[in-house]
Amino acid sequence: MASTGAGKVTDLSAYRAVLASRMRAQASYRASFALDLGSSLLVGVVELAEIAVLYTSVHGIGGLDLAAILLVFGLADLSFSLADMAFGHCDDLPTLIRAGTIDVFYLRPQPLLAQLVTSDISLRRIARGGVGLVVLVIALAINDVPWSPAAVLLLVLALLSGLVTFGSLFVTAAGCQFFLVNGAEMTNAFVYGGRYGATQPASVWGRPLVVLFGFFFPMAFTAYLPVVTLLGLPGLDGLPTWLGWCAPVAALWAVVLAALAWRVGVRHYQGAGG
Amino acid sequence: MLVSARAPILLRLVAAGVRQQTAYPLAALAGLVANVTFGFLKVAVLLATVEAAGGELNGYDAGTMSAYIWISQGLLGSVNLFGRTEIAERIKSGDVVVDFLRPLDVHAAAVATDVGRSLWALLPRGVPSVVIGAVVVGMAVPTSVAGFLLGAVSMVLGIVVSCTTVYLVAATGFWLVETRGVQILYMVVSGFLAGLFVPIGLFPTPLFAVASATPFPSMMMYPVDVLSGRVAGWDAVGLVAAQAGWLVVTAALGQQMTRRGRHKLEVQGG
Amino acid sequence: MSSVSMDGPIIETHGLRRTFTVRDGLRRRTVVAVEGLDLRIEPGEAVGYIGANGAGKSTTIKMLTGILVPTAGEVRTCGLRPVPDRRRLARHVGVVFGQRSQLWWDLPTEESFELLAAIHRLSPDDARSRRSELVERLELDEFLTTPVRQLSLGQRMRAEVAAALLHRPRLVILDEPTIGLDVLSKQRLREFLVTERHEHGTTLLLTTHDMGDVERLCDRVVLVDRGSVAFEGTLAGLSRTVGADRVLTVDLAEPVPDLGTVATLPGVRHQGHEGHGLRHRFAFDAEQTTVVALLAALSAHAEVRDLAIEEPDVEDVVRRVYAARR
């Protein structure tokens, strides 16, 4: 009964069917969707304003001037918004657990995590990603970027790694939420705290923050370190400037962390011991 | 029992709001962890900003900036910057007609329950966050007893203004089928203008004027300024007076909207 | 590596045990939900899995479907180990939870079926024919284009059943399927399940508080008490073990106040009369005295115009079993 040959291909079509129907459903409530797009845009603009207020009141913070921080903000916000669009609904896991609807996922022949991730997509977050993209383009124009194939490669690597890193962060949070059903807000500390940290110059952090958001949750690698490498700025104390090239390594670590958290979380939910 | 059975009904609603919150200790801990993590990130960037400005920026030095960060983080559990309330759901769904049948002012009852919930949140979320900040980073405090007292008054006023303002969002549900737009707008604007991530004292003049013309700084920025001693003396009294003014305005508006909303339900049957 | 078995039992458990650790203030306590459960269900059977709230029914279902890992013991569903083989097992099992929906609440009902067909990798032809079969049998056509959140409870349950059966599972587990339904909806659903079983040989496992479900649908009941099997057999057998009798009510042509002599038959008790002796009630144990014998004895005294036989109230039977075990 179970087909084997074309298995993988048809499996993907199941995910595609669910995602396509989610997108249609969102777009069909036009007024509501427009409102969501607008508010998502506004969130992006307000976050930009907060950064702008700080960096226009002084000349440079943590070794970055306004132009450089815009580059950091643009990179981080674009990759975070895209990750949020694809993975953000993982934050609803506590609701699914409380309502028991997570059990329904167990009754379908796909991996749980794949089902959770593809169970929704928040198209509205594209507006916030748009803010990130516009800021990124402007920042690339106003900064003194030493353009070369290597510079382009570095930017692309940073964006992709950032996307993977932030996506992994959402999955890590979901894994923890199996334990924290009524205290799910705790994971906001590293998901949304991490996003906030990713738009900062990591050079202003004390040692504990560098350990936490520089390496354990590798936020500094999503934007700040690649920008430092790209613009040839002094980066973190005592660490080489080329560290920004390690963004893919950081992303890989984030994936490992997410896989571990998810595995432990699911085992806890099934009661097989942590 | 926190309040005896003979206490005025509104005080008992405040107590009920407190009890609802004590049922979720893990949620309180989770909120604290998130608040404190954000607090340290704010400390890093804002103290670096003060340092870059030469140790003083628009009246903020390291001590008052740290006080701003930890007090505002501590108030986060008590000041509603999301715009979501229980009463909003009841108004939207029409369940509020049941509330109108009770011999109780619907507006005052909703605000009282909310105030109770918010005051309670000061214990598990407010106090620890300020203590952690004071111990790990250090912060400025008022230099006189009067300053402390005024700070306490300002904080309570801020919490009440937050509850009366967010009620207005809920009350739009009497007329709007979908209040989510209003709620989202409130959420995006309130945090920014209340001075959540950047103190409004650092805003450029036009933006500062916009913020001052809204009730949002009364919820968080003014209590923080008074409690940290950044604003003292008659200036501090002025901020508290502004809060009182916003309280009167938002409460009166809430009364008015509730009365008209009720009238509309009675005439049109929801 | 276990394989999908087509001829072995559909469900087989040995010494199945599941405990939960609950926090009681600062102390931790272990609660036993299922204790040494031995179950064996053959293909094509219809089994009622009954017991009070907290007797361990939901926990058992979760272990059978791979949602929960057993603390100890063995479990095979369709010949597979539910947890490691969960994804393969999902192709052979359909579950209806009365309390939790597997439909997409904001989409038209038919779109949920399309998504589930994709999820279970049904071929377009197969999906179409199965869907139209279910739509017809469960009378879904009137609300196929209605978003799920706007369905009535009865409509939603029918849609849930269709969703669980779309991929032609060999085993269908129904957890409180008729809870909250009106009489007509219950009846429709039961009729559908009888037909489905008859035509496709589907195995049914049903947990319910509604004994009408058990009476109409199941040929065997398993009664659980505190996580282990308290009784296994037919519903009639269950009634007998606790001495719950059937009741015969007769309407007579003429009032006869005293029919006490009939009650001297073995296992027969006279429960009383109404209307000055026009209507009489007798409780009897069908093993000792048949209805025919009882009626024959009655007609010796009076002319019987009408009669009704009531099965024992099974809620009452369950209570008696529990009471006897305490």
Q: Do A46 and B188 touch (CB under 8 A)?
A: yes
Mean pLDDT of A219-248: 94
Instruction: Specify the CATH architecture of the domain C242-325.
Output: 2-Layer Sandwich (3.30)
- Give the CA-trace dihedral at C300, C302, C303, C307, to 10 degrees: -100
Return the residue matching tokens 């009106």: C182
Question: Which residues neighbour A257 within 8 Å (Cβ) at sequence distance 6 or greater?
Answer: A168, A172, A216, A217
Which two structure tokens, joined as six digits, stand for B13?
Answer: 């609603």
Question: Which residues neighbour B243 within 8 Å (Cβ) at sequence distance 6 or greater?
Answer: B154, B157, B158, B161, B218, B222, B223
Domain coverage including residue A136: 11-270
Nearest to C83 among A14, A101, A270 (CB): A270
Give the integer Cα–Cα distance in Å for C36 and C17: 5
The pLDDT tens digits of the residues spanning B196-236 come to 999 999 999 999 999 999 999 999 999 999 999 899 889 99
Write down the pLDDT at residue C266: 83
Return the residue matching tokens 């595995």: A263
Q: What is the CA angle C312-C314-C316, rounded to 5?
A: 90
Instruction: Looking at the complex, report in whole angstroms how far the Cα of residue C212 sits from the nearest Cα belonging to chain A.
Output: 27
For residue A25, pLDDT beyond 90: no
Q: Do A61 and B45 touch (CB under 8 A)?
A: yes
Parallel, antiparallel or unpaired: strands C279-284 and C268-274: antiparallel
**Residues in chain A closer than 8 A to B207 (CB atoms):** 53
Partner A contacted by B30 (CB < 8 A): yes
Nearest to A100 among C90, C99, C111 (CB): C99
Q: Among A26, A36, A39, which would you mutate to test the B interface (most chain B Cβ atoms within 10 Å of its Cβ)? A: A39
Mean pLDDT of C280-293: 83
Question: Which residues neighbour C300 within 8 Å (Cβ) at sequence distance 6 or greater?
Answer: none
Question: Which residues neighbour A26 within 8 Å (Cβ) at sequence distance 6 or greater?
Answer: A33, A36, A122, A123, A124
Give the integer Cα–Cα distance in Å for C80 and C84: 9
Instruction: Looking at the complex, report in whole angstroms how far the Cα of residue C26 sits from the nearest Cα belonging to chain A.
Output: 17
Question: Which residues neighbour A125 within 8 Å (Cβ) at sequence distance 6 or greater?
Answer: A40, A81, A82, A84, A85, A88
Q: Could you tell me if residue C54 is left (phi over 0), alpha (psi between -120 and 50 degrees) or otherwise beta? A: left
**Residues in chain B closer than 8 A to A192 (CB atoms):** 34, 38
Q: Do B30 and A185 touch (CB under 8 A)?
A: yes
Count of domains observed in chain A: 1
User: Can you give the pTM of this predicted structure?
Assistant: 0.86
For residue A6, pLDDT beyond 50: no
Q: Where are the domains of chain C?
A: 11-239, 242-325
Write down the pLDDT at residue B3: 47
Mean pLDDT of A6-25: 76
Give the integer Cα–Cα distance in Å for C231 and C48: 11
Q: Do A1 and C91 touch (CB under 8 A)?
A: yes
Instruction: Looking at the complex, report in whole angstroms how far the Cα of residue C70 sits from the nearest Cα belonging to chain A.
Output: 8
Write down the pLDDT at residue A1: 39
The pLDDT tens digits of the residues spanning C82-133 come to 999 999 999 999 999 877 888 988 889 999 999 999 999 999 999 999 999 9
Partner A contacted by C87 (CB < 8 A): yes
Average pLDDT for chain C: 87
Write down the pLDDT at residue B77: 87
**Residues in chain B closer than 8 A to A186 (CB atoms):** 29-30, 33-34
Write down the pLDDT at residue B52: 94
Mean pLDDT of A245-256: 98
Mean pLDDT of C181-205: 91
- DSSP 8-state secondary structure symbol assigned to residue B53: T
**Residues in chain A closer than 8 A to B47 (CB atoms):** 204
More confident residue, B252 or A270: B252
Nearest to C100 among A7, A14, A100 (CB): A100
Q: Do B178 and A183 touch (CB under 8 A)?
A: no
Q: Do B41 and A196 touch (CB under 8 A)?
A: yes
Amino acid in the structure at residue B3: V
Chains that touch A (3 or more CB pairs under 8 A): B, C
- DSSP 8-state secondary structure symbol assigned to residue C147: B
Q: What is the CA angle B257-B258-B263, rounded to 5?
A: 95
Write down the pLDDT at residue C4: 56
Write down the pLDDT at residue B4: 53
Mean pLDDT of C307-315: 76
Give a yes or no: residue A3 inside a domain.
no
Q: Do C88 and A109 touch (CB under 8 A)?
A: yes
E strands present in A79-204? none
Mean pLDDT of A216-235: 95
b/e sequence C241-262, b meaning 16+ C-beta within 10 Å? ebebbbbbebebeeebeebeeb
Q: What is the ipTM of this complex?
A: 0.91
C vs B contact (3+ beta-carbon pairs below 8 A): no
Mean pLDDT of C174-202: 89
Question: Which residues neighbour C252 within 8 Å (Cβ) at sequence distance 6 or greater?
Answer: C277, C278, C279, C280, C302, C303, C304, C305
Parallel, antiparallel or unpaired: strands C228-233 and C246-252: unpaired
Each residue's pLDDT tens digit in chain B (270 positions)? Answer: 444 555 677 778 777 777 766 767 788 889 899 999 999 999 999 999 999 999 999 889 999 999 999 999 999 989 999 888 889 888 888 888 888 888 889 999 999 999 988 998 888 888 999 999 889 888 888 788 888 999 999 999 999 999 999 999 999 999 887 788 889 889 989 999 999 999 999 999 999 999 999 999 999 999 999 999 899 889 999 999 999 999 999 999 999 999 999 988 887 765
Closest residue in chain C to residue A22, using alpha carbons only = C107
Partner A contacted by C90 (CB < 8 A): yes
From chain A, which residues contact C within 8 Å (Cβ)?
A: 1-3, 7, 10-11, 13-14, 16-18, 21, 25, 99-101, 103-104, 106-111, 267, 270-272
Write down the pLDDT at residue C165: 95
More confident residue, A55 or A30: A55
Mean pLDDT of A251-274: 90
For residue A79, pLDDT beyond 50: yes
Which two structure tokens, joined as six digits, stand for A257?
Answer: 């962390």
Write down the pLDDT at residue C91: 93
Mean pLDDT of C173-201: 89
Give a yes or no: residue A115 inside a domain.
yes
**Residues in chain C closer than 8 A to A107 (CB atoms):** 65, 90, 93-95, 102
Write down the pLDDT at residue C287: 73
Give the integer Cα–Cα distance in Å for C33 and B2: 38
Which two structure tokens, joined as six digits, stand for B262?
Answer: 């009720």
Which of the residue ranges A2-6, B249-253, C144-148 has the most confident prediction, judged by mean pLDDT? B249-253
Nearest to A209 among B44, B57, B192 (CB): B44
Check the CA dihedral C178-C182-C183-C187 and report its sign.
Answer: negative
Nearest to B26 among A46, A182, A209 (CB): A182
Instruction: Looking at the complex, report in whole angstroms how far the Cα of residue C199 sits from the nearest Cα belonging to chain A.
Output: 19
Which two structure tokens, joined as six digits, stand for C59?
Answer: 């926990």
Write down the pLDDT at residue C6: 62
Q: Which whole-number Å values give the CA distances from B115 to A141, B158, B164, in the listed order?
A: 50, 10, 9
Amino acid in the structure at residue C256: V
Closest residue in chain A to residue B47, using alpha carbons only = A204
Write down the pLDDT at residue B218: 97
Q: What is the CA angle A86-C120-C112, rounded to 5?
A: 65
Question: Which residues neighbour B211 within 8 Å (Cβ) at sequence distance 6 or greater?
Answer: B193, B195, B200, B203, B217, B221
Write down the pLDDT at residue A156: 97
Average pLDDT for chain A: 91
Confidence of residue A214 (pLDDT cuts 50, 70, 90): very high
Are the beta carbons of A75 and A222 closer than 8 angstroms?
yes
**What CATH number should be reported for the domain whose range is C11-239?**
3.40.50.300
**Residues in chain A closer than 8 A to B202 (CB atoms):** 53-54, 57
Write down the pLDDT at residue B21: 66
Partner A contacted by B180 (CB < 8 A): yes
Give the integer Cα–Cα distance in Å for B60 and C50: 70
C80 closest CA partner among B118, A2, A254: A2
